């Protein structure tokens, strides 16, 4: 069967392109990211794949791809962070109907849009946080979509998807902006495959299904070393029922502290996980053990295979895992895109 070319910019460790490559129908031309730990991850796990450590905020996209001899690509994917923005035009005031308008070109998202302009992919997908659509009262996203829609020849949409609805054992909402120039009328995003109420027997995957078998294997497999928690935190963890948060109103004075966050939420074996957020070396609490999840357990919940080795210090590993697009969700996207491209061809 025909293979299609793929480029992943702002790739991180490549969860997004991993899902595409799992279909066996895509050839990765390039993955690019500026993070040194992502570079070391690729060298450790996929030295055969083309990866380049490059600051994508500084390049001229046309010159960059011309120098690589890449004129176009079938599919472009990526997850540019929403960092740094400036405003142009008139600022909104209390007595004016005008609003701030954002110079998307100076944002990393603007650089992703430039890659679309230059490479003219048949299909592109940009992944970002759920809050992108409501940031700055939605004005920023409105300008993002205006910039995308200024590219001629594309039909462009956006949708917030929950990874749990696609077989990932995790409640993880993310914004996807996607577009194609095939002119085909198709469902614009992958159809949901898993359901909270188990429609057609396809119930949301659970934490227990993902990690129960890892209990007792601590320090015996890569990236499965528990944090050494202090006695006070262990005492706190013991008070958290499965699937619940720290009962702050029932804590003795010696265990009380301010700002108990998600790192003091115990997961439930029979439910999907909270979103894996790359915090300060700590993920949520294990359903049955009085400790936070290990990097390996978080990776399982993100649907990474056990033969992936996460490199760098623990914080770097947490960031690598937590920032990634879950490969299983990405594979759903890949199969959806294949249906469109196969018809287009």
Distance CA 60, CA 248 (A): 52
Residues 149, 135, 174, 38: is their CA dihedral positive or negative? positive
Residues 329, 331, 333, 335: is their CA dihedral positive or negative? negative
**How many residues belong to the chain?**
345
Tokens 């265990």 correspond to what residue? 255
Q: 128 — phi, psi (to 5°)?
A: -155, 175
Long-range contacts of 242-249 (CB under 8 A, 24+ apart): 242/266, 242/267, 242/268, 242/269, 242/287, 242/288, 243/267, 243/268, 243/271, 243/287
Distance CA 201, CA 296 (A): 28
Distance CA 124, CA 181 (A): 9
Q: How many CA atoms, within 13 angstroms, populate the side-chain half-sphere of residue 127?
A: 28
Distance CA 170, CA 268 (A): 11
115 neighbors 93 (Cβ within 8 angstroms): no
Q: Which of 13, 31, 82, 163 is catalytic?
A: 82
Going by C-alpha positions, the residue among 239, 218, 233, 206 that lies closest to residue 294 is 218
55 neighbors 34 (Cβ within 8 angstroms): yes
Distance CA 245, CA 262 (A): 8
Q: Annotated catalytic, 82?
A: yes
Catalytic residues: 82
């Amino acid at each position: 069967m025909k293979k299609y070319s793929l480029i992943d910019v702002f790739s991180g460790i490549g969860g997004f392109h991993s899902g595409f490559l799992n279909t066996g129908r895509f050839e990765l031309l390039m993955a690019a990211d500026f993070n040194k730990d992502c570079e070391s991850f690729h060298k450790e796990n996929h030295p055969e794949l083309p990866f380049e450590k490059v600051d994508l905020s500084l390049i001229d996209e046309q010159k960059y791809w011309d120098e690589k001899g890449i004129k176009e690509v079938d599919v472009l994917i990526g997850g540019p962070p929403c960092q740094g923005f400036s405003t142009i035009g008139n600022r909104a005031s209390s007595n004016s109907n005008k609003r701030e308008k954002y110079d998307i070109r100076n944002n990393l998202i603007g650089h992703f849009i430039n890659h679309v302009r230059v490479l003219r992919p048949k299909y592109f997908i940009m992944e970002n946080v759920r809050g992108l659509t409501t940031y700055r009262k939605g004005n920023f996203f409105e300008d993002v979509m205006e910039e995308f829609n200024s590219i001629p020849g594309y039909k462009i949409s956006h949708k917030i998807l929950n990874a749990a609805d696609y077989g990932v054992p995790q409640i993880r909402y993310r914004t996807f902006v996607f577009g194609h120039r095939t002119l085909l009328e198709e469902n614009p995003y992958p159809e949901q495959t898993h359901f909270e109420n188990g429609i057609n027997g396809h119930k949301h995957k659970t934490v227990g299904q993902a990690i129960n078998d890892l209990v007792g294997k601590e320090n015996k497999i890569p990236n499965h070393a528990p944090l050494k928690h202090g006695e006070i935190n262990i005492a706190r963890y013991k008070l958290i029922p499965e699937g619940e948060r720290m009962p702050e109103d029932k804590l003795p004075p010696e265990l009380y502290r301010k700002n108990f966050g998600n790192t003091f939420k115990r997961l439930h074996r029979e439910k999907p996980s909270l979103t894996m957020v790359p915090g300060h070396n700590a993920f949520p609490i294990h359903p049955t053990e009085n400790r936070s999840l290990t990097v390996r357990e978080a990776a399982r919940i993100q649907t990474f295979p056990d033969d992936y080795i996460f490199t760098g210090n623990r914080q770097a590993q947490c960031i690598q895992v937590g920032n990634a697009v879950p490969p299983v969700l990405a594979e759903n996207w890949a199969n959806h895109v294949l249906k469109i491209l196969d018809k287009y061809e």
